[in-house]
Structure 1
Amino acid sequence: MSAVPRGFEDFLLRGNVVELAVAVVVGAAFTAVVDAFVSQVMTFVLTAAVVYVIVVLPLRSTAERRARGGEPGLVAPTQVELLAEIRDLLATAPGGPGTPAR
């Protein structure tokens, strides 16, 4: 005599249990894939938010202030200013113009 009741054995062999087992395994694998994807997306979103707050917002506010005239931008000196600075440095440098050559 079999240890398993006949009705239970029929239920097991009908195939519903096998389909249910396959569904559980596939569901577990799908859960792992979804968890990994959500983790990867969350990492991307958090990194993008930090970069936006640390880099983009300060640069944008600085550009807006410069556009309004609140903060002057970098201005390169003119040729006349550079030549005057060179002349002044040469005049005060030891061995500059006016000193005898060796």
Structure 2
Amino acid sequence: MNNSEKDSILFEIITPLGFVVRTTVGYWNIISTVKHPIMQNRLEDVMQTLMSPDEIRVSKNDEKVFLFYRADGNKRWVCAVSKKLEIDGFLITAYRTSAIKEGILLWQK
């Protein structure tokens, strides 16, 4: 994969909070192969989590970081973590979890 392919936008999704979250092909590759390999074939689930989450929380450590949760089986969730900049944001990471992190509940389905 060359640099222009790595830098190309993989998705831009409008969240229920009204801001756009985006990621590049190269960064998704890092998330799905290095950070959280279990997410390798879960791109669609991450996109759905950002578009239609069950709940959204604000990180207790950083008010610009949002955790989007969507049910993924019995007592399991997909969590997509994004950071909002001035107008829009970017995907920090995505993973499966058995526990919803503390943080301020901002939005619920």
Q: TM-score range by the shorter chain?
A: under 0.3
Which of the pair is proportionally richer in strand? 2
**Larger fraction in helix:** 1
Q: Which has the larger Rg?
A: 1
Q: Give the alignment's TM-score, normalised by structure 1.
A: 0.17
Q: TM-score scaled to structure 2, two decimals?
A: 0.17
Higher relative contact order (CA 8 A, sep 6+): 2
